[in-house]
Chains A and B, each alone.
Chain A
Amino acid sequence: MEVFVQQLINGVTLGAVYGLIAIGYTMVFGIIGMVNFAHGDVFMISAFISLIVFMAITAVAGFSGGVVFLALLVALVVSMVITALYSWTIERIAYRKLRGSFRLAPLISAIGMSILLMNFVQVAQGARNKPIPPIMRDTINLFERNGFQVAISYKQVMIIAVTAILLAIFWYVVQKTPLGRAQRACEQDAKMAALLGINVDRTIAVTFVMGAALAAVAGTMFLTYYGVVVFSDGFVPGVKAFTAAVLGGIGSLPGAVLGGMLIGLIETFWSAYFSIDYKDVAAFSILAIVLIFMPQGLLGKPEVEKV
């Protein structure tokens, strides 16, 4: 029971990070039907930007509790802005021109962008792990039983809270604002949306920007949680988040979050109860099983065959 609760907390935290990245995959797929393979690396870049900003601020202003919190906040905002700019640029130079061509072209371009970003960071930042000093180490003790202390750390509280708040804002934008309506309209029929006066190219660019901003939140959380980032960190979390998006039903926002949570929980529980070496095997096996029985994913809309 104690172990279960503790792992539940850990799993939800990890799942929140995956979910945030998965939203970027799912939205871009929804609107242009393309898997943006560079999204994982955009996430990695955002973690680096946060790291640089955080280190710069704490180097100047010291390392007291208030400064750390403020530095994290500034790092988060700066990272969101710069990462969004990265993603906007990628869309502009690598995807937009290819939109009219055959389906695989933007996909290949995305893989190319992924490799490019990874190598760029490797060259610019070095190939070694980049750590930040341990921060926010305090925990809240929930209860203790059989000598096992169940605790939730401030970091975890922050990650879960920030994810929940951002999801709520994001959900509101997509459901209730004219921008969200335009995004959903482009998702269903971009040509028709254009004939109603919607600038489809701009709407797609905004989608990339929003996805990247959320990836930056995930990147900052990732950095805070693990305290370390390396140039290849875009790949595995990227693939996991993509898996989460597929598991939840690609194109569905709540699906992406649900998928992220599930992947996070499966991984954590598998590591705790069985073997940590096989945690990825477990996560991907469950994906395969779910897709066999529900090809559209958990919350995806079934493909309706039109006669």
Chain B
Amino acid sequence: MRAKSDPILRVENVTMRFGGLVAVNDLSFVAGRGDITALIGPNGAGKTTVFNCITGFYKPTVGRMALRHGNIDIDSHVEKLTDTSRDSLNGTGGSLFLLERMADFQVSARAKVARTFQNIRLFSGMTVLENLMVAQHNPLMVASNWTLGGLIGLKGFHNREKEAIETAKYWLEKTKLIDRADDPAGDLPYGDQRRLEIARAMCTGPVLLCLDEPAAGLNPKESLELNALLRSIRDDHGTSILLIEHDMSVVMQISDHVVVLDYGTKISDGTPEEVKNDPRVIAAYLGAEDETEVQEIEAEVGL
């Protein structure tokens, strides 16, 4: 768990209200670089809302979300950046971004945060390969001189496009989808579509990958393969992962750090071991009122 020593994302006092409903209430947590940070909690706890805030889908009502590239010191720079009207700052060793100030496409294009969805959102009419090429839009657009170069077939553009195809191929092989590269994405079976979403997110070259229930609807074998894929993304690519997951076997096996939400409020934060034994977490999951009731239930189910 590297949340303290090497943070990549610092969420501070984020509150999201929809009219009278408080979906996320004063949430603060830190995700470490190279960690798999899991965000868990009962249904309706506000996990997806947190994701929507981080990826620019929503603007939080209150709060600050600072993401860093490189080794820039968050503490000494974040206040300075907040006082300006800008959304990012380059300092010694890297850059700092305030995600709540950025438009949705900039969160991906500049801050390099990618995400997948609980309900799959592939471009189902496009081929598998095209889905991965769309994810590399920005570098390709620059290489094609905003289409003019691409139109007259400049060499630089061709080379860059070849590179993009290589990247796509790499992720297709990694997700075992290479045989389906030219099929429409909508024709893939469910489990393959899930993996394709991850592959597409990785093709944007993210520093932080946000996965919303990647194991939902997967069978046990697919779930194991997913664990291996996520570990490889963390270990071989150094991409930090933020994960929403209900499948506790996935959460406990692969997370380095777990944050627990209930009714939009953080109730626990620590290593999987610590969180597993936190009475408040058990109470939230089992619906118990206080600790004595928790012990009663635990005795009942033989824990």
Where the two chains meet, the residues of A that have a C-beta atom closer than 8 Å to any C-beta of B are 169, 172-173, 176-179, 181-182, 184-185, 188-189, 191-200, 301
* A-B CB pair tally, cutoff 8 Å: 89
Q: Which residues from chain A contact B137 at a C-beta distance below 8 Å?
A: 178, 181-182, 185, 196-198
Q: Which residues from chain A contact B109 at a C-beta distance below 8 Å?
A: 197, 199
A181 touches B151 (CB 8 A): no
B104 touches A192 (CB 8 A): no
Question: Which positions 112-152 of chain B face chain A at CB distance < 8 Å?
Answer: 114-115, 117, 121, 123-126, 130, 133-135, 137-138, 140-141, 144, 146-147, 150-151
Q: A195-B115, A196-B137, A197-B138 are in contact. Are A185 and B123 (CB under 8 A)?
A: yes
B123 touches A191 (CB 8 A): no
Which 7 pairs from chain A and chain B are nearest by CB? A197-B109, A197-B108, A178-B140, A177-B150, A194-B105, A194-B104, A179-B147
Where the two chains meet, the residues of B that have a C-beta atom closer than 8 Å to any C-beta of A are 55-57, 103-109, 114-115, 117, 121, 123-126, 130, 133-135, 137-138, 140-141, 144, 146-147, 150-151, 200, 204
B134 touches A198 (CB 8 A): yes
B133 touches A181 (CB 8 A): yes
Instruction: Report the nearest B residue to A181, measured CB to CB.
Output: B134
B144 touches A195 (CB 8 A): no
Q: Which residues from chain B contact A197 at a C-beta distance below 8 Å?
A: 105-106, 108-109, 135, 137-138, 204
The smallest beta-carbon distance between A134 and chain B, in angstroms, is: 35
CA–CA, A184 and B122, complex, Å: 12
A188 touches B126 (CB 8 A): yes
Q: Choose from A176, A185, A192, A196 the contact partner of B150 (Cβ within 8 Å).
A: A176
A192 touches B123 (CB 8 A): yes
Q: Which residues from chain B contact A198 at a C-beta distance below 8 Å?
A: 105, 134, 137-138
Q: Choose from A196, A199, A200 the contact partner of B134 (Cβ within 8 Å).
A: A196
Instruction: Report the nearest B residue to A184, measured CB to CB.
Output: B126
CA–CA, A181 and B127, complex, Å: 11
The smallest beta-carbon distance between A242 and chain B, in angstroms, is: 23
Q: A195-B115, A196-B108 are in contact. Are A177 and B151 (CB under 8 A)?
A: yes
* Best-surrounded residue of B105, B135, B144, B200 (most CB of chain A within 10 A): B105
Can you sample 6 A-B contacts with CB below 8 Å?
Answer: A182-B137, A182-B141, A185-B123, A196-B204, A197-B109, A199-B105
Q: A195-B108, A195-B115 are in contact. Are A178 and B141 (CB under 8 A)?
A: yes
CA–CA, A184 and B130, complex, Å: 10
A189 touches B147 (CB 8 A): no
B124 touches A188 (CB 8 A): yes
